[in-house]
Amino acid sequence: MIDHELIPRKILFDTLRVDPKLSPDGKWIAFVLTQKGVPNIWLMSSRGSPDRHQISHETGRGVYVFSWANDSRHLIIAKDGDGDEKWQLFSANIESKKWMNISPFEDAETRISAFSCESPSEIVIESNGRTSRFFDLYRVNVATGSVVLHELNNQYTWIYVDQYLRPRLAELRTENGGVNYNVSDGDGVWDHFFSVSPEDETTTRPFRSFEVSNTFNADATEIYAMDSRGRDTAALVAWNLNDGVSRQIAEDRLSDISRVWIEHQSQEIFAYERYYDRPTLVSLRETDRQDFEYIRSVEDSHFSIVSQTADNESWIVRFHGPENPGSYVVFNRKSRKIGNIDLEQPTFEQHQLGSMHPTLIASRDDLNLVTYVTLPPSTQVRGEDRPDSPLATVVLVHGGPWTRDVFEFDPWIQLLANRGYAVLSINFRGSSGFGKSFLNAGNQEWGGKIFDDIEDGIAWSIQNGITDPDKIAIMGASFGGYATLVGLTRLPKLFACGIDLFGVSNLTSFLETIPPYWKEYKSMWRTRVGDPLESAGAKLLRDHSPFFHIDKLTSPVLIAQGANDPRVVKQESDQMAQALEKNALEVVYMVFPDEGHAFVRTPNLLSFVAGVEIFLRKHLGGNCEPIGHDIVGSSITVPIGNRYLPDLRLAKLIDPHSKEEVMEVIP
C-alpha cells in the first residue's frame, strides 16, 4: 500500500482542457472552462480585466474545439454528435454571442482548411457530405454565413489551400502505398509535382492546417514540409511549387522535425521542436532566441508557444512537464512583460506527483526504444529511477501505433503512479518521430515484433528491479487496446490482468469497417498492417488478431467501448467480450452509449476511471479512491461481467440535491 495522499480523480481528469488562444489583434483570450463536468468556450480580456464572458452554453459533451477567425470578431467552434466525429462548424460572434452553422451538410464531417490573409472573415472549409470518401472545399464568410462550393474533389485524400484561398497542392494515394503530389496555380488545373515512395509517405508531407495556421510562405510560392527522402529522420524543408526544389531549413540526427511555429504576417518559420527523449524548442532567428532565453529565465522548465497574435508581438506561453500539467502566461515581446492567466486550472501543489524517468532500452534486434518509467511519489529509490523493491506495474501502451509516448504530464500516468503502481511507457517500433527506419520496422508487425519490443521493455524492467513479475497489468486505448489483447493472448502467464479501451480484436473486420474516407488509404493499410486480399496477408491478419487466440487467454480483462466510435466500431469489442464470457473467463465490459473514440463526458470518464481503479486493486493490490459521487450522471452500462466489480455494481447513488436515486450501474 502507499503512504502518500490520494489525488482525487476529479482533479486529474475534470478540468485539464483549457486551450487558451489569443485573438489575432491581441485583445482577447478565448479558452475552455469546464463547469459541472461540461466544457464550454469563454472569453476574457488579454489586458488583465477579471471579467469573463461565456460564448457557448452547451450541455452534455459541451464544446472544446475552436479557432479564431482572422477578423478577431468570430470564433469557429466545432462539435460532433456523441462521438460520431461528424464534426459541424459554427461561427460565433463574440459581441452578439450569436451562432451560425457554417457546415454545408449536417450528416458529414466538416473541418477548417485555410484562413484568408486578404479577407479576414473568409475561410475555406472541407466536407465529405457529397461523397463520404472525399472532402470538397467550400468558401465561407464567417460574418454572413455564406457557404459556396470552392473546389470539387473526386480523388485526393488531402488538398492544401494557401492564404489566398487557392487550392495549390494535393495528395493522391498510389496502389503501391506511396503518394503522388499534384500542383496547381489555383486555376483548377492540376499537374504532377513529384512522387513519394511507400517508405517515405508518412515522414514526407506538408504541414497541415490543424498543425499550423498556414503552411505556405508569404507569396505562396513555397509550402513548408517535413521530408525524409534521401535521409532517415525527417528534415524541415520548404518545397518550391514552381520548380520543385526543396530548401532545407533544419534537421536533427535523432528525431523527425514535426512541429513548427510560423510568424503570421511574414509567414516565416521562426522556431521548431526536436523531440527524442525530451522536447527542445529551437529558435531560428536571433531576436526569438533572446526571447526564449528570457522566458527560460522566468521559469526553468520546458515551454511551448501555444498561441500568437497576428503581428507576433504577443504569445501565450505554456510551461509544462511530467509533473506540471501546464501553466500559462502572456508574454509581450516588446515590453518583455509576462502576465499570468487565471484559467481556473487544478493545482497539484498540495499533492505529490509521480516522477518520470526517460531511458533507452535495446530491443532483441538492437533497436533503441525510448522508454519512460514513472514511479509512485512515495517510492524509496536506489539512484535516480530504481525502487528499493519491485513494484506492481502497469504497462501503458500508446495508440496509433504511429504516435509516440512523450515526456509530458499525463493524467493516466499520474493516477496510476498515485495509486501505487510503476508505469512503463515504451516507444516500440512503428512509433513516430524517430525516423522512417524505426517507423517502417513496424510494418506488418502489429502482433509480431511490435509486441517483441513491449516484451523486451518489460523484461528490462523486471531485470532492473522495477517491476514485480507477478503483478503486471497491460493497458491502452485504440492500438494500445489492441496491444493489450495481443499481450493477454500471446503471453497469458505474464500479465495479471489487462484493460482494453476501444481496441481492435479482429484486424480483418477492423479493415472492413474503417470510416469511408480512410479507405482511400487502403494501400497504406496493406503496407503497414497486412493485405486481406492476398492469402499470405489474410493469414497474417488472422495470426495477429487476438479474437482468434481467445483459447490462450486466461487473465481477467476490462473492456470499454464508446457505442458511436467510427474508427474502432463497437463490434470489435462486442465480439471479444462475448467470446470471453462464453469461455467462462473473467471479463468486465463497459459500454458508453453517448461516446465515440474517446470518453469526453466528464461523468463517463470519471466512472470509467473508478472502474479501472477497482479492477486494478482487485488484481494488482494497489490503492483506490472511493467512488463517492463521481459516477453520478454517467451513461455507463455493464452488459457483461458486472458481478466481477462488486464495488461498482452496488454503487446506487443518491443525488445530494434532489435526494433521488439517479443511476445504478447494474443493467
**For residue 68, what is the domain's CATH number?**
2.120.10.30
pLDDT in tens, 373-392: 999 998 877 766 789 999 99
Q: Are residues 390 and 436 in the same domain?
A: yes
What integer pLDDT is reported at residue 306 of this predicted model? 95
Residue 193: predicted pLDDT = 95
C-alpha span between 40 and 18 (Å, rounded): 10
Per annotation, catalytic residue among 150, 264, 597, 619: 597
Angle at 174 between CA 173 and CA 179, to 5 degrees: 55
pLDDT score for 654: 40
Average pLDDT over residues 136-142: 98
Residue 658 C-beta-side C-alpha neighbours within 13 Å: 8
User: Can you tell me the mean pLDDT for 487-493?
Assistant: 96
Q: Is residue 584 part of a domain?
A: yes
Higher pLDDT, 56 or 628: 56
**Cell (9 digits) for 621:** 493490490
Checking phi first, is residue 568 left (phi over 0); if not, alpha (psi -120 to 50) or beta? beta
Banded pLDDT at 662 (limits 50, 70, 90):
very low
User: Is residue 648 within 8 Å of 664, Cβ to Cβ?
Assistant: no
Q: Model confidence over 14-31: pLDDT tens digits?
A: 766 799 999 999 999 999
Residue 663 binned pLDDT confidence (cut-offs 50, 70, 90):
very low
Q: Is 2 contained in some domain? A: no
Query: What cell numbers appear for 566 in the block?
Result: 467510427
341 close to 46: Cβ distance less than 8 angstroms: no
Last residue of a domain, one of 117, 136, 151: 151
Is the pLDDT at 314 greater than 70, yes or no?
Answer: yes
314: nearest Cα among 289, 339, 293: 339
Is there a single domain that holds both residue 292 and residue 404? Answer: no
Question: Within this chain, do residues 310 and 372 fall inside the same structural domain, yes or no?
Answer: no
What pLDDT does 213 receive?
77
**What is the Cα–Cα distance from 235 to 604, expressed in whole angstroms?**
41
How far is the CA of 224 from the CAs of 144, 167, 240, in angstroms? Answer: 32, 15, 9
Tens of pLDDT along 59-84? 989 999 999 999 999 999 999 999 99
User: Is residue 646 in a domain?
Assistant: yes
In the structure grid, which three cell numbers stand for residue 358, read together?
Answer: 526517460
Regarding whether 389 and 312 lie in a shared domain, the answer is no
Q: Say which CATH number the domain at 434 has.
A: 3.40.50.1820
**Nearest Cα to Cα of residue 504 among 481, 528, 527:** 481
Q: Is residue 257 part of a domain?
A: no
256, 203 contact by CB (below 8 A): yes
How do residues 414-465 score in pLDDT, each as one tens digit? 999 999 999 999 999 999 999 999 999 999 999 999 999 999 999 999 999 9
Looking at the structure, tell me whether residues 405 and 328 fall in a common domain: no
Per-residue pLDDT for 519 more than 90? Answer: no
* Catalytic residue status for 544: no
Helices (runs of H) and strands (runs of E) counted in the chain: 12, 40
Q: Is residue 127 part of a domain?
A: yes
Query: Three-state SS for 488?
Result: helix
Q: Is residue 607 helix, strand or coil? A: helix
Look at residue 347 in the predicted model and tell me its pLDDT.
Answer: 73
Residue 478 is among the residues annotated as catalytic for this protein: yes
For residue range 91-104, what is the model confidence (pLDDT) as tens digits? 999 999 899 999 99
The structural domain count of the chain equals: 3
SS3 state at 521:
helix
Whole-number pLDDT of residue 659: 42
pLDDT for 89: 98
If asked whether residues 318 and 367 sit together in one domain, one would say no
362 and 337 in a single domain? The answer is no
For a pLDDT cut of 90, what percent of the chain falls above it? 83
Same domain, 413 and 361: yes
| Domain residue limits at 311 | 285-345
Going by pLDDT thresholds of 50, 70 and 90, the confidence category of residue 249 is: very high
Half-sphere exposure of 99 (CA within 13 A, CB side): 15
pLDDT at residue 15, as a whole number? 63
Q: Tell whether 397 and 416 lie within a shared domain.
A: yes
| Residue that terminates a domain, selected from 121, 151, 181 | 151
Choose the catalytic residue: 56, 363, 425, 478. Answer: 478
| Residue scoring higher pLDDT (350 or 511) | 511
Residues 301 and 443 in one domain: no
Q: What pLDDT score was predicted for residue 649? A: 63
- In-domain check, residue 234: no
* pLDDT at residue 548 in the model: 98
Q: Please identify, among 345, 368, 390, the residue that sits at the C-terminal boundary of a domain.
A: 345
Regarding whether 68 and 115 lie in a shared domain, the answer is yes
User: 27-49 burial by CB neighbour count: b if 16+ within 10 A, else e?
Assistant: ebbbbbbbeebbbbbbbbebeee
> How far is residue 130's CA from residue 133's CA, in Å, rounded to a whole number?
9
Residue 661 pLDDT > 60: no
Exposure b/e, 266-287, CB count within 10 A at least 16 = b: ebbbbbbbbbbbebebebbeee
Is residue 190 situated within a structural domain? no
Q: 665: pLDDT confidence band, cut at 50, 70 and 90? A: very low
- What pLDDT does 657 receive? 42
Active site includes 121? no
**Percent helix / strand / coil, the chain, rounded to 5:** 20, 35, 45
Within-domain flag for 248:
no
Q: Are residues 297 and 430 in the same domain?
A: no
Which pLDDT tens digit goes with each residue over 533-561? 999 999 999 999 999 999 999 999 999 99
Residues with Cβ < 8 Å from 573, sequence gap 6 or more?
500, 502, 503, 505, 559, 560, 561, 589, 591
What pLDDT was estimated at residue 636? 93
- 206-210, 342-346, 626-630: the lowest-pLDDT one: 342-346
Query: 140 versus 187: which is more confidently predicted?
Result: 140
State the Cα–Cα distance between residues 347 and 594, nearest whole angstrom.
30
Phi–psi pair at 16, nearest 5 degrees: -80, -20
Catalytic: which of 565, 619, 630, 634?
Answer: 565
pLDDT of residue 651: 57
